[in-house]
Amino acid sequence: MPIEFSKKLTAHHTPIPGVVLYDLPVHGDNRGWFKENWQREKMLALGLPDFAPVQNNISFNEKAGTTRGIHAEPWDKFISVATGRIFGAWVDLREGPSFGAVFTAELDASQAIFIPRGVGNAFQTLEDNTAYTYLVNDHWSADAQGRYTFLNLADESAAIPWPVPLDQAELSEKDKNHPRLADVAPMPPKKTLVVGADGQLGTALRKLYDGDPSVEFAGRAEFDLGTEESFTARTWKNYATIINAAAYTAVDAAETPEGRRAAWAINVTAVARLARTAVEHNLTLVHVSSDYVFDGTREIHPEDEPVSPLGVYGQTKAAGDAAVSVVPRHYIVRTSWVIGDGNNFVRTMASLAKRGIAPQVVNDQTGRLSFTEDIAAGIRHLLATGAPYGIYNLSNDGPSQSWADIAADVFELSGGSRTAVTGVSTEEYFQGKAAAPRPLNSLLPLHKIQASGFQPRHVKEPLADYLADVLAD
């Protein structure tokens, strides 16, 4: 059967999620033919994942009827026919609702197919001297075979209509003895690693992902961001995503010589290592940023505002953001005034209200609280929906408030009086104290993350819930 020439490059989706069949333009004349088998820019424009291939393999098959599979490897594959013709069969062997879904097609040199990790691949040659090629995004190794998932070519539930009956085809003994679908252990998804998992945000992420075996949590004891060994000792091919919930957040201490070194080590050097790891292994990196990357002279801070940090803490967060921005698959989640487990402003004000102490609180710094439950939920949303990569502001919703406004709300919800809180300027509050400079305006507009389909809660709801728990202790 002759190859069809001059087809338009076209993508055809299939019943298996992520499996895409491509028509390739093949240009021929009296000398033969030429095609662009893999053209990254054009195929990305059609929606092909940027899967970063690293190895090219070719299977040559001398006789028609040669049958191979069904093998699900732990990497993505871009498959095409170099010469000849095949009947291809693909079965979803991944954990999830599409497990067992089947797609079949005949392919010649004018077609190619993208097969995600965990989808079983099989083919039967329809012509002699057929060459079947694989572009893969991980290097083959002997230990990788232990991570394969297999399905029997004759599985009754898949019911693949092989053109050459299997009892007349050329098969290997191994392929004859693979399990039926009912006995296949589905391939689990790649894992998400949460580093800094013992902090405020890490605690919220633990609660949110509780029971999800694909999410792994690492505190400092399990993953020390300050040591190179933590990065080199891990098998990154088993991971898809890193969520960085670690940070040095002692704003005033960062202005001291010791604090400055610690802030740069955690917020910049360690983040640069994470970014390098994500680039080298084609991972998604989620990183949490701060309103402190701005000087606060503007009333609001959209995602595209150039950074202008005032103090050491803000400078290190801005530098960490810059490192993360080079990762092709990154989310920088920019927050303000974070409230979660442990000591924080809301908990302190509730304690003062309970003890009948009337505080002076800064009234010229304005912004919004960001509860860690909502930050964690926003991160999960971005990852689960595959939102466009980049920077997203994420705080709770509601009007901009001063710290004094929030303190008054806390006093009222704690059974105290709003009038117990006295507002003072930042200059008055820190007079005679060693303190880092702070942005006066920290309001982060939420339009971008709302447009992605995520609506942060109005601050009144999580504040009331949080105080109910605090007051119950």
Res 231: pLDDT: 92
pLDDT digits (tens, 9 = 90+) for 192-214: 999 999 999 999 999 999 999 99
Mean pLDDT, the chain, whole residue set: 94
Nearest to residue 372, comparing CAs of 194, 193, 191?
Answer: 194
pLDDT band at 444 (very low <50, low <70, confident <90, very high): very high
Q: In the prediction, which pLDDT does 145 show?
A: 63
pLDDT at residue 344 greater than cutoff 90: yes
Structure token pair of residue 243: 């969520």
CA atoms of 317 and 293, how far apart (whole Å): 6
Around Cβ 247, how many Cβ atoms within 10 Å? 24
For residue 33, what pLDDT band results from cuts at 50, 70 and 90?
Answer: confident
Cβ neighbourhood burial of 158 (10 Å; 0-12, 13-18, 19+): buried
pLDDT at 342: 86
The pLDDT of residue 197: 95
The answer to whether residue 472 scores a pLDDT higher than 90 is no
Structure confidence at residue 1 (pLDDT): 57
Q: What is the DSSP string of 179-218?
A: PPGGG--PBPPPEEEEESTTSHHHHHHHHHTTT-TTEEEE
Domain ranges of the chain: 10-183, 191-472
**Summary count for the chain: helices (H), strands (E):** 13, 25
CB 25 within 8 A of CB 38: no
| Residue 467 confidence class, pLDDT cut points 50, 70, 90 | very high
pLDDT value at position 432?
84
445 three-class SS? coil
Mean pLDDT computed over 154-160: 96
Is the confidence at residue 188, as pLDDT, over 70? yes
Contact, 291 vs 321, CB < 8 A?
no
Give the predicted TM-score (pTM) of the model: 0.89
Structure tokens belonging to residue 393: 């502001």
Residue of 217, 211, 199 lying closest to 372 (CA atoms): 199
Q: Are strands 20-23 and 10-13 parallel, antiparallel or unpaired?
A: antiparallel
Q: What are the pLDDT digits (tens) for 241-256?
A: 999 999 999 999 999 9
pLDDT tens digit string along 110-132? 999 999 999 999 999 999 999 99
Cα–chain center distance at 361: 38
Closest to 184 measured CA to CA, from 116, 100, 102, 67:
100
pLDDT at 70: 96
User: Which whole number is the average pLDDT over 169-191?
Assistant: 94
Task: State the pLDDT at residue 327.
Answer: 97
**Per-residue pLDDT tens for 217-226?**
999 999 999 8
The answer regarding whether domain 10-183 maps to CATH 2.60.120.10 reads yes
Q: Catalytic residue, from 134, 292, 313, 331: name it.
A: 134
User: Is 192 in contact with 216 (CB distance < 8 Å)?
Assistant: yes
Catalytic residue, candidates 13, 22, 27, 71: 71
- φ/ψ of residue 459, rounded to 5: -60, -25
Instruction: Give the residue, 228 or 4, on which the prediction is more confident.
Output: 228
Q: What is the CA angle 4-6-10, rounded to 5?
A: 90
Residue 178 CA: distances (Å) to CA of 68, 153, 165, 181: 12, 8, 17, 9
Instruction: Assess whether pLDDT exceeds 80 at residue 173.
Output: yes
pLDDT at 140: 81
Look at residues 314, 471, 463, 453 and name the one whose alpha carbon lies nearest to residue 377.
Answer: 453
Return the pLDDT at 98. Answer: 96
Domains 10-183 and 191-472 share a fold: no
Name the residue with tokens 């090219």: 56
Q: Which fold has domain 191-472?
A: Rossmann fold (3.40.50)
In the annotation, is 392 catalytic?
no
Please tell me the distance from the alpha carbon of residue 456 to that of residue 336, in angstroms, as a whole number: 13
Q: Is the dihedral of CA 46, 52, 56, 57 positive or negative?
A: negative
| Residue 27 exposed, middle or buried by CB count within 10 Å (0-12, 13-18, 19+) | exposed
Instruction: Indicate the pLDDT class of residue 144, thresholds 50, 70 and 90.
Output: low
Q: Comparing C-alpha atoms, which of 404, 350, 341, 340 is closest to residue 372?
A: 340
Q: What's the pLDDT tens digit per position in 63-115?
A: 999 999 999 999 999 999 999 999 999 999 999 999 999 999 999 999 999 99
Q: Is 466 known to be catalytic?
A: no
